[in-house]
Amino acid sequence: MRPRWVAVILAVAAVVILTPGFYFSRRHVRFMSGNESAGLNCMPCHLYLQQGGLLSRLGERDYLSPLHLAVSPDGTRLYVTAEEADALLVVDATEGTVLRRIAVGRQPHSVALHPNGGTAYVSNRWSNSVSVVDLASGAVVDALNVGAGPAGLAATPDGASLYVANAMSDDISIVDLARGQERRRLSAGRSPQSVGLTPDGESAFITSRYTNGVPHRTTPITEVTVVSAGTERVSRRALLRSAHDIEGIDFTPAGDLAVVTLVRPKNLLPATQVGRGWMLTFGIGVIEPGPGGRVVQLLLDEVNAFFADPFDVVIGAQGRHAFVTHSGADVVSVIDLDAVRELIEATPAERLADFADHLGLSARYVVTRIPTGANPKGLALSPDGRRLYVAERLEDRIAVIDTEALEVVGTIELGGPSPNRIRRGARLFHRADHTFQGQFSCRSCHPEGHHDALTYDLEPDGLGLNVVNNLSLRGLAYTAPYKWTGKNASLYRQCGFRFAKWLTRTEPYTLDELYSLVAYILSLSHGPNRYRPASGELTAAQERGKTLFERERTSEGRPIPSENRCITCHPPPRFTNFQLADVGSGGPLDTQGEFDTPHLDNLYGQAPYLHDGRAATLEEIWTKFGGDDRHGVVNDLTKAQLNDLIEYLKTLGGEPADEERSGR
Amino acid sequence: MRRRTAVAFGSVLLVGLASIALLSSRGDVPDGAIVFTQVTENGADAAWASRVVMLDPGHADVTPRVLTQGFHAARHPAVSHDGRRFLFVGKREPADPWQLWEGSLTGGRPQPVAANVRDPHHPAYLGDGRIVLSARGGDGADTTAALFTADLDGTSLTRITYHPGQEIAPVVLGDGRVLYVSRAGSPGTTADRLMVVRYDGTASQLFYEHPAAGRILDRPWETGDARVAFVEAVPSGAAQELVAVSQGRPLHSRVVVSDALDGSISSAYPVTDEGFLLAYRPADGERFGLYEFRPETGELAALADGAGGDVAEPVLVTSRPRPKVFVSVVDRASATGTLFCLDAHLTDGRVAQGPWRSTTLQVWGASGLLGETALEADGSFHVEFAANTPVRLATVDPRGRVVHGPSDWIWVRPNEKRGCIGCHEDRELAPSNRVPLATEKPAVRIPPVAEEGGS
């Protein structure tokens, strides 16, 4: 046979064989992406975006991600926490160069300086510790034991104490710095984030991210906790109604006002529109620090433009301006505090609450918006107040702002690598320009890739129906399908066309953007599970809980049907069987009774629970809503046994906790 | 032989590639060229009544190039975002109907677009490659003008606004919405208002209005510094002013930027953060010429006089960011849409109290009362009514006395679920965060569902 004929036969065979394959592949891509016009491209999902795959590992890079920073008393040095590098960077503020990289604990968050300028304290969120850094030698000389997930911190002016906001244990540590030991632990709001000290050092104000416990589908109320330095007790819990995600805080030099950043969610409204602040608005809280002082919320948004995700605030040396980073809008807002005072003083008390939803007022007190690089986070002022340093987290860079000219006058490169696909995805995740008028970013509802502890009424399934609990995005890899209804076979589908139609209400992501965004989301992890011992050995209570989780018979010895055993629907390693199930959790506003079986990875940090967030705690899943034994047979359990079961559930997923406090 | 064939093939390929490169280049469209309309005073008796021309300011001594050669009348030019094409309305003969056309700024004969549109005005390019325009909304003697969208080949003509007045002069904002002038259709008002709507006709809302009755003379345009500029006469018939409003709070930021001018302005187009192109007639002049105006300094520079005809509708030829696009929620299979209100008692930022509080919502159509429903205890309501049909709302107290309303005409598009905060509420308010009682129940259907057909 002549070669030409061989080629023809092979070509025909290839067409015959490959056409069904091609057809199948196209259908598969369309199903997974939810995009009818999506081209056939197997590479992203099956090759270079595959989590843990060879190519995705080859593409990994070590970014720095500067989060917070402090300036030395003489103004010559910046101390920058590099969140993804587990390091404290020492930067020459004059030359704009990195002088030293000091290894600290995992996921460093904030840095505070001892008043003598010789010691830095760095909170390590994933190590549950505070690293004590001798700045002369650059050595970590101690690691202080604090609560879980330490975030913001502040040293008292006398250098005697350190206040630490423990974001994961919802409390505040007061550390005796002379002894290097925690002296007191006080309860805070949910997920405390930052600590601000009054200029006289007599009080510490601690912000919180999540709403306090409120009845289901009622207005969120989030706390700023005030601690008296004298008594070291909570002296006030300032409650900010209809606000959450309160992150940064600072005081005027005179101490007459505290300013916090905040988000005002509209999660109780049907999410039928985005414009005019129907999804979220962003602003500040102005708090009079004295007993019974007023709390006024003001928006930083405008009628047709939104400035997402305010993160940190610093008040200028003269107390004239407040500077706020908007990490989702890549700007710093400059606020005229005299205009704010005037506005508050000129308004009758009963009308002050109306300001909280007014989009026109910002024109009266926002002086300007200063553009920055990607994802501006922490702020710090030079001692003379003339320079404002901004941590541009996803640029691995510090921006320098002239506080008189109100413009960026320079940048300091910290030396991070160029953006890879995951980094590009991180930028997309954190930027709000993919929503109509910049209304919100992915981060707005998923801070740090986690959740916002709220429930939402989304449009497609009808107004007032099918309220859904917003879940964490951490640990989502290999847990498809997604959504409580299990409708989305992949994250490409979840974040694609319908997401733009019903949520962001502007342009859908391009396919390339979608690949990057999904790559980033799949990279998110919970970090160490603080209930999971490093040794792998469970505590006695956890062991008892594990037995209950896996049991096949009730306490009375009756067999439990397979479908009513915990382990059946929540088998390891993901603790989900990837199936829909009707466990009797449907409510009167649900149009279906079957819901996607969620994974249980780091379950303890994800309250509220159930598909609509009705259960405020893990206990409530069964004590309030498990009466018919369909969501696992539990009604034969004693309270002690239920406690054991929950102790075990808390150990599921995530990395084991560190054996010893690291950061030293 | 083979070598000769290869050379010939290569030559053809090179020529082809060169042709493509030439065709895809910007050709002879100079950066910063200005497209505008010239209008003769002789009207129908002249060889042409109006025409669209292009001027290169770098060669202002050169006669503007006529882009609508062979047309008796042409007007309302709009330039594409890549600065290469333009839309206009025109007619070749005086007796022809006005028709929509698209031409290339690099030359060639304009091609007709959407031939079945009646009385088209002010076409503009949408971000998704389609167009939006104003045209006659109804049949026969109906002279209302509405906004429509269409594909560039003239198909998929879709009406998107249903106000019974004149909806004219649309432009496309960077965020993708359509900004337009709504004229003399609102009960009790003769003022022009600027409205904004998503280009599927959903979420129409007020953008700007002057408290006194004003007249907006031409298209509004978005400036490079997040403002919207337009020419307005307040009250209607007074001297025209060039006005700018901030998009941050358009209802409360009106600034007159033409104080330095004492002549007449018919059109304005922003060219930089500070400057405008004006169709302007000096106080002692006879014709409208083309000028560049800098409000900061009051500097006014003539670019073209009106010798070739009065200048109107200048547009800068430059490439601009494509406006955003979005995925429409309109479902043509649906005959209705819904409207929910968070608190009908909320007005001007305050919640009405006492015995004069309203208890019932009435929905009125063009021919009378369509239906009513009781307000919930929290003042909310949730109604479903025919899509693409203008309605007005009123709230009444238990004795049937009107508390608020009737409102301006509003409409919903098929499957639209529209929300509002209150009645006559402060238009700069974001909603408060609480579950409206009315949305926990199915929407109250207001009959008759199909009193008027959409288009």
B286-324 pLDDT, tens digit each: 999 999 999 999 999 999 988 888 999 999 999 999 999
Rounded (5°) CA angle A460-A464-A466: 60
> If contacts are CB pairs under 8 Å, which of residues 171-210 in chain B contact chain A?
175-176, 203, 205
Question: Is there a cis peptide before residue A528, judged by omega within 30 degrees of 0?
Answer: no
- Compute and round to an integer the Cα radius of gyration of chain B: 25
Q: How far apart are CA A587 and CA B24, in angstroms?
A: 60
DSSP state for residue A504 in the 8-state scheme: I
Scan residues 296-325 of A and list those with Cβ closer than 8 Å to B: 299, 301-305
Helix (H, G, I), strand (E, B) or coil at B298: coil
- Sorted by sequence, the CB contacts under 8 Å of residue A597 that are 6+ apart come out as A569, A570, A576, A577, A578, A579, A580, A581
Q: Which pLDDT value is given to residue A48?
A: 67
Instruction: Note the pLDDT of residue B103.
Output: 96
B358 shares contact with chain A (CB less than 8 Å): no
Q: Does B419 touch chain A (CB under 8 A)?
A: yes
CA–CA distance, B289 with B285 (Å, rounded to integer):
9
For residue B448, is the peptide bond before it cis, meaning its omega torsion is within 30 degrees of 0? Answer: yes
Q: Does B331 touch chain A (CB under 8 A)?
A: no
Which residue, A182, A165, A319, A140, is CA-closest to A227?
A165
Distance of alpha carbon A102 from alpha carbon A81, whole angstroms: 10
Q: Is there a contact between B230 and B173 (Cβ–Cβ < 8 Å)?
A: no
Structure tokens at B203: 């979420």
Contacts of A436 in chain B (CB under 8 A): 175-176, 324, 326
Q: Does B378 touch chain A (CB under 8 A)?
A: no
Q: What is the pLDDT, as a whole number, of residue B23?
A: 44
For residues B13 and B4, give the distance between their C-alpha atoms in angstroms, rounded to a whole number. 14
State the nearest Cα–Cα gap between B438 and chain A, in angstroms.
9
pLDDT for the residue A20: 75
Tell me what pLDDT residue A659 has: 52
pLDDT at B19: 47
User: Which candidate from A218, A219, A464 shows the least CB-CB separation from B440?
Assistant: A464
CB A464 within 8 A of CB A485: no
The sign of the dihedral angle between the CA atoms of A576, A582, A587, A589 is positive
* 3 state SS of A635: coil
- Which one of B322, B428, B444 makes the best mutation probe of the A interface by having the most chain A beta carbons within 10 Å? B428
Note the pLDDT of residue B26: 45
A244 three-state secondary structure: strand
Mapped onto helix, strand or coil, the DSSP state of residue A283 is strand
A280 φ, ψ (degrees, to nearest 5):
-155, 150
B258, with CB counted inside 10 A (0-12, 13-18, 19+), is buried
User: In the prediction, which pLDDT does B238 show?
Assistant: 84
Residue B439 phi/psi, 5-degree rounding, is -85, 0
Average pLDDT, rounded, for chain B: 88
Give the three-class secondary structure for A77.
strand
- Mean pLDDT of the region B89-118: 91
DSSP line for B11-57: HHHHHHHHHHHHHHS-TT--TT-EEEEEE-SSGGGSS-SEEEEEE-G
| Encoded amino acid at A663, one letter | G
Token pair of A49, please? Answer: 């975006």
* B194 has pLDDT over 90: yes
How would you class B340 by CB atoms within 10 Å of its CB: exposed for 0-12, middle for 13-18, buried for 19 or more? buried
Q: Report whether B262 contacts B256 (CB < 8 A).
A: no
Q: Which residue of B has its CA nearest to A499?
A: B327
Tokens representing B77? Answer: 């030019």
CB contact under 8 A, B419 and A299: no
Q: How confident is the model at residue B355 (pLDDT cuts 50, 70, 90)?
A: low
Q: How far is CA A207 from CA A125, A150, A258, A583, B417, in A?
A: 16, 13, 11, 37, 37
Write the CB contacts of B87 (distance below 8 Å, at least 6 apart in sequence).
B76, B77, B78, B80, B100, B101, B102, B113, B123, B124, B125, B131
ipTM: 0.90
Which residues lie closer than 8 Å to B395 by C-beta, 6 or more apart?
B344, B358, B360, B361, B362, B375, B402, B403, B404, B405, B423
B62-86: pLDDT as tens digits:
789 999 999 999 999 999 999 999 9
φ/ψ of B281, rounded to 5, equals -120, 115
For residues A104 and A75, is the Cβ–Cβ distance under 8 A?
A: no
Q: How far apart are CA A207 and CA A152, in angstroms?
A: 9
Biggest CA–CA distance in chain B, Å, is 102
Spatial contact of A645 and A549, defined as CB atoms under 8 Å apart: yes
Which of the residues in chain A have pLDDT under 70? 1, 16-18, 35-40, 48-56, 58, 658-664
d(CA A81, CA A90): 9
Backbone angles phi, psi at A17, to 5 degrees: -75, -45
Tokens of A655: 């990395």
Structure tokens of A153?
Answer: 């911190």
* Distance (Å) from the alpha carbon of A11 to chain B's nearest alpha carbon: 27
Q: Which residues of A touch B343 (CB under 8 A)?
A: none
Question: Nearest CA of chain A to the CA of B56: how many Å?
Answer: 35
Task: Classify the C-alpha dihedral A427-A429-A430-A431 as positive or negative.
Answer: positive
**E strands in B173-282:** 178-183, 192-197, 205-209, 215-216, 221-222, 227-233, 240-246, 255-256, 264-270, 276-281
> How many residues can be counted in chain A?
664
pLDDT band of B8, cuts 50, 70, 90: low
Contacts of B419 in chain A (CB under 8 A): 269-270, 272-273, 278
Task: Please give the angle made by the CA atoms of A175, A177 and A181, to the nearest 5 degrees.
Answer: 50
Give the Cβ contact number of residue A608 at 10 Å.
Answer: 22
Quick check: B54 and B64 in contact, CB under 8 A? yes
How many DSSP H helices and E strands does chain B contain? 1, 35
| Cβ of residue A222 closer than 8 Å to a chain B Cβ | no
Instruction: For chain A, positions 491-520, list CB contacts with chain B under 8 A.
Output: 497, 500-502, 505-508
Torsion of CA B225, B228, B234, B237, to 10 degrees: 120
Helix (H) or strand (E) holding A392: strand A387-392
- Residues B393-419: what's their mean pLDDT? 93
- In whole angstroms, give the CA distance from residue A296 to residue A257: 11
Q: What is the three-state SS of A316-378? A: CCCCCEEEEEECCCCEEEEEEHHHHHHHHHCCCHHHHHHHHHECCCHHHHEEEEEECCCCEEE
Q: pLDDT tens digits for B153-180?
A: 878 999 999 998 899 999 999 999 999 9
Distance CA B149, CA B155 (A): 9
